[in-house]
């Protein structure tokens, strides 16, 4: 009888699987991922490596010595120990982060605009006290500009009524507000000494959300060419809430990481973060194989570093507030060893 190993499902719960079952999961997931993202499945040798990583009872798993990658963070700290500066220092000196991020719990550029002087003062103090590169991060968060929270009509209410043109116009108007706010916050942060800006979960409200971020990035880089810009995706492809928006002649709706990394680089992004959703009912090995299938072509064709989103519920890491280290370690190793990611 074939032995079994302890592994986990995408919701973090423990299960036991045999190596044959894990191999079957890997093959099924890469076939599904390739079909959905219209790309090639992982090569047999890639699946062999994944099987070696996942068919192990070791608590921890890691890349080879010398093959380490860069760890950037969308928000550094849990707001559970001292000040935000304390948390940044802890991430820099004790938790192995290479690029750290100052953030506010209301993680939205619209919200940050109202407390910018407070945030920039914290950035300035942090820059004087830290060595590691420190960026400021928040979400474009286009939905905040729709009624009742914002000034423009709510496109999510208009669309079910069939008022498509009005819904599109509302998103276009919201974009103008969002771009203005993101550039405003970026100017304040750059003046305070920030090394870069992070536009995290770009596209969460669809293609207009993403386009607002790309336009903001283009504007910021035209004024500050040496500033770092990290752009993180919200899901594995761009949702077409508007459907007709283009950046430099390329339609954004339905775009996968392989093409979006090129669009992002064209806008001025210096680090790109793809995100692939986790299926909580499938094994971590299944989720990693699917994520790698979608992201590997992006990494191969990118001209800028690719930092995969591997957090709770994305990139293969289980969807739980307390991701188990055995799963996180295996995902991280697979992303570098098989995916050749530049960072996480």
Partner 1 sequence: MQMTRGMRLEQAKAHVAGRLGVSTADLSDPLIMHEVRREFGLGLIPVQELTYPSEPGAIEAKFHISEVFDVPINSVQKFTEHIAPRAAARSVGAGVVSPRPEVSA
- Asked if 172 and 241 touch (Cβ cutoff 8 Å), the reply is no
Look at the block and give the residue holding tokens 């890639």. 46
191 binds partner 1 (CB under 8 A): yes
**What token pair was written down for 156?**
């999510």
Task: Classify 307 as helix, strand or coil.
Answer: strand
Q: Candidates 76-84, 111-119, 133-141, 203-211 — which segment interacts with partner 1 by CB under 8 A?
A: 133-141
CA distance 109 to 202: 11
Stretch that binds partner 1, among 114-122, 185-193, 254-262, 315-323 (CB under 8 A): 185-193
* 135 near partner 1 (CB under 8 A): yes
Rounded CA-CA distance 287/314 in Å is: 9
> Where do we find the tokens 């009872």?
57
Residue 69 contacts partner 1 per CB under 8 A: yes
Among positions 131, 160, 161, 222, the unique one binding partner 1 when judged by CB under 8 A: 131
**CB-wise, 210 or 302, nearer to partner 1?**
302
Provide the mask over 279-318, with x wherever binding to partner 1 is found by CB under 8 A and - wherever it is not: -----------------------xxxx-------------
C-alpha count within 13 angstroms, C-beta hemisphere, residue 321: 1
Binding mask 201-240 for partner 1 (x = CB under 8 A): -------------------------xxx-x----------
What is the maximum alpha-carbon separation in the chain? 65
- Residue closer to partner 1, measured from CB, 102 or 205: 102
- Applying CB under 8 A, which of residues 128, 161, 248, 281 lies at the interface with partner 1? 128
CB of 287 to partner 1, least distance (A): 23
In the complex, what is the shortest distance from the CB of residue 332 to partner 1, in angstroms, rounded to a whole number?
14
Closest to partner 1 by CB, 193 vs 324, is 193
Residue 197, preceding bond cis, omega within 30 degrees?
no
Q: Which of 50, 183, 192, 292 binds partner 1 (CB under 8 A)?
A: 192
Residue 200: name the closest of 233, 174, 228 by CA. 233
Quickly count: other Cβ atoms within 10 Å of residue 271's Cβ. Answer: 22
Cβ proximity of 158 and 166 under 8 Å: yes
Please spell the DSSP secondary structure of 31-98, one letter per residue. Answer: HHHHHHHTSPPPPHHHHHHHHHHHS---S---PPTT---B-B-SS---S-SS-HHHHHHHHHHTS--S
Residue 31 or 63 having the CB closest to partner 1: 63
Q: Does 93 bind partner 1 (CB under 8 A)?
A: yes
How many residues line the site for partner 1 (CB under 8 A)? Answer: 36
| Residue 190 vs 238, nearer CB to partner 1 | 190
> Which residues lie below 8 Å from residue 255, measured CB to CB, with a gap of 6+?
237, 238, 263
Closest CB 93 distance from partner 1, rounded Å: 5
Options 53, 158, 194, 335; binder of partner 1; rule CB under 8 A: 194
Of 10, 41, 137, 343, the one binding partner 1 by CB under 8 A: 343
**C-alpha span between 230 and 48 (Å, rounded):** 32
**CB of residue 222 vs partner 1: minimum separation in angstroms?**
15
How far apart (Å, rounded) are the C-alpha atoms in residues 168 and 93?
Answer: 47
Residues 6+ apart with CB under 8 A from 82: none
Question: Using the rule CB under 8 A, is 117 a contact of partner 1?
Answer: no
The binding site for partner 1 (CB under 8 A) comprises 65-66, 68-70, 72, 93, 99, 127-131, 133-135, 190-196, 226-228, 230, 265, 270-271, 302-305, 342-343
């Amino acid at each position: 009888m074939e032995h079994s190993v302890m592994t986990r499902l995408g919701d973090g719960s423990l299960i036991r699987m045999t190596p044959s079952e894990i191999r079957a999961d890997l093959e099924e997931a890469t076939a599904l991922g390739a079909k959905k993202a219209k790309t090639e499945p992982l090569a047999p040798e890639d699946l062999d490596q994944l099987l070696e990583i996942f068919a192990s009872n070791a608590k921890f798993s890691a890349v080879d010595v010398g093959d380490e990658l860069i760890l950037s963070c969308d928000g550094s700290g849990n707001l559970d120990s001292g000040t935000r500066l304390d948390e940044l220092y802890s991430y820099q000196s004790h938790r192995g982060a290479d690029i750290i991020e100052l953030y506010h719990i209301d993680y939205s550029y619209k919200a940050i605009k109202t407390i910018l002087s407070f945030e920039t003062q914290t950035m300035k103090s942090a820059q004087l006290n830290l060595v590691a590169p420190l960026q400021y991060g928040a979400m474009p968060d286009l939905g905040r500009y729709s009624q009742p929270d914002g000034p423009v009509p709510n496109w999510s209410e208009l669309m079910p009524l069939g008022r498509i043109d009005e819904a599109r116009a509302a998103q276009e108007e919201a974009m103008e507000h969002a771009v203005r706010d993101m550039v405003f916050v970026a100017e304040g942060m750059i003046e305070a000494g920030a090394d870069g800006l992070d536009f995290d979960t770009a596209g969460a409200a669809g293609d207009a959300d993403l386009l607002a971020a790309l336009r903001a990035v283009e504007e910021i880089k035209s004024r500050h060419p040496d500033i770092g810009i990290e752009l993180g995706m919200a899901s594995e492809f761009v949702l077409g809430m508007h459907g007709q928006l283009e950046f430099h002649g390329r339609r954004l709706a339905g775009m996968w990481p392989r093409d979006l990394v090129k669009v992002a680089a064209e806008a001025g992004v210096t680090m790109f973060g793809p995100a692939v959703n986790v299926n909580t009912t499938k094994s971590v090995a299944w989720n990693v194989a699917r994520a790698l299938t979608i992201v590997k072509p992006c990494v191969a064709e990118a001209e800028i570093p690719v930092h995969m989103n591997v957090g709770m519920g994305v990139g293969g890491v289980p969807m739980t507030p307390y991701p188990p280290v055995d799963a996180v370690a295996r995902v991280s190793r697979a992303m570098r060893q098989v995916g050749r990611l530049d960072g996480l």
